[in-house]
């Protein structure tokens, strides 16, 4: 590889890594906050948030990597044009084909990485995530309680609150529970403390409440019944619902002929192709006029890449709903932007007006 090729690829790689990290920070940060909110609501324990984000990381990377590569090529080549270095390279015989061959290494590495993620790694981690979330849902209410937060269970039929919890998470302090009974009555429970107990014979989980009161009755009517207790056992819900894997989590070989599975099949192969065409398009649109800066083409070029991505999403949804035949799939969108990329590449060798 020539010195010029190493020089260009080194800068493309550096900008790619920085851009990838920035885009991941934005994408992962938003979801991380969302999962923290769900953990605070008691859907799962806070300690599992990092595991969930780790298992979703390949899904995020396969989406942002093509944009990072595209941006890196536009910025790198735009600087070469703005600093007149490209004039020197072209004078030495670096035409469009030569530039494409130089960029084939970073583009090829990213395409290979995205292909591995889209075809194998992401479905595998999504299956692991589904299994992990099922395990989290199978935990009792006791494990998901966070002190100082109201937790809603059983589709709003029960609310649990604990003012504090022991360091070993075995004892709740100042416990409040509100439950809507089958006949419409409400049951309210206050207790000084509560611990979890498991019936070894049946496997049932119980919250054993100590020193409290239970109020039971119909809201808006007199005659609430009050019971003082030293010990009260309240059975905790254990979710046993087991959902099958989503279409996104199915292995490539198990994708069938249904519309949703065909859409997923096309989408997985679309991402590596999105990288390839995006790399060609990035080189084609990167040329700037002599008096323009290296960032002159960034905004319009990124908008073009976003339009490309959005059209892929729209066609994927249409394919999943049966509005587009699998024969057409996403190939039409790729063909249009490939033609656009080729048209831009053909203009690189032509003189540009100052």
pLDDT at residue 354 tops 50: no
The CB-side HSE value for 35 (13 A sphere, CA atoms) comes to 19
User: H-type helices in 47-155, by residue range?
Assistant: 49-82, 85-91, 96-116, 122-137, 141-144
Question: Is 193 in contact with 173 (CB distance < 8 Å)?
Answer: yes
Q: What is the enclosing helix (H) or strand (E) of 319?
A: helix 298-320
Range 162-181 average pLDDT: 79
Distance CA 94, CA 90 (A): 4
- Mean pLDDT (the chain) is 82
Range 55-65 average pLDDT: 93
**Where residue 140 falls among pLDDT bands split at 50, 70, 90?**
very low
What does the pLDDT read at residue 73? 92
161: which strand partners? Answer: 176
pLDDT digits (tens, 9 = 90+) for 78-92: 888 777 777 777 777
| pTM value > 0.85 | no
The pair phi, psi for residue 90, each rounded to 5°, is -65, -35
pLDDT digits (tens, 9 = 90+) for 190-248: 888 888 777 667 666 677 888 888 888 887 777 778 888 888 887 765 554 445 568 88
């Amino acid at each position: 590889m020539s010195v010029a090729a190493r020089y260009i690829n080194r800068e493309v790689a550096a900008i790619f890594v920085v851009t990838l990290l920035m885009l991941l920070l934005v994408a992962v940060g938003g979801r991380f906050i969302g999962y923290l909110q769900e953990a605070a609501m008691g859907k799962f324990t806070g300690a599992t948030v990092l595991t969930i984000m780790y298992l979703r990381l390949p899904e995020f990377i396969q989406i942002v990597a093509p944009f990072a590569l595209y941006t890196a090529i536009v910025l790198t080549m735009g600087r070469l044009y703005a600093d007149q270095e490209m004039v020197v390279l072209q004078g030495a015989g670096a035409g469009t084909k030569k530039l494409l061959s130089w960029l084939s290494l970073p583009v090829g590495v990213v395409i290979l990485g995205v292909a591995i993620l889209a075809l194998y790694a992401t479905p595998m981690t999504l299956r692991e995530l589904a299994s992990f979330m099922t395990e989290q849902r199978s935990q009792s209410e006791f494990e998901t309680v966070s002190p100082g937060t109201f937790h809603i269970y059983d589709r709003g039929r029960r609310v649990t609150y604990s003012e504090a919890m022991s360091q070993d998470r075995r004892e709740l302090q100042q416990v409040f529970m509100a439950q809507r009974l089958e006949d419409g009555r409400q049951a309210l429970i206050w207790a000084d403390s509560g611990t979890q107990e498991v019936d070894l014979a049946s496997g049932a989980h119980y919250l054993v409440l100590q020193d409290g009161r239970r109020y039971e009755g119909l809201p808006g009517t007199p005659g609430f019944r009050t019971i003082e207790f030293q010990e009260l056992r309240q059975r905790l819900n254990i979710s046993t619902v087991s959902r099958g894997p989503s279409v996104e989590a199915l292995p490539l070989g198990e994708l069938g002929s249904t519309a949703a599975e065909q859409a997923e099949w096309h989408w997985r192969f679309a991402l590596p192709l999105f990288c390839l065409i995006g790399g060609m398009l990035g080189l084609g649109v990167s040329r700037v006029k002599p008096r323009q800066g290296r960032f002159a083409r960034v905004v319009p070029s990124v908008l073009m890449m976003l339009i490309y991505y959005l059209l892929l999403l729209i066609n994927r949804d249409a394919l999943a709903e049966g509005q587009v035949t699998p024969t057409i799939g996403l190939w039409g969108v790729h063909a249009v932007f490939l033609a656009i990329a080729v048209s831009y590449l053909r203009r690189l060798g032509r003189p540009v007006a100052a």
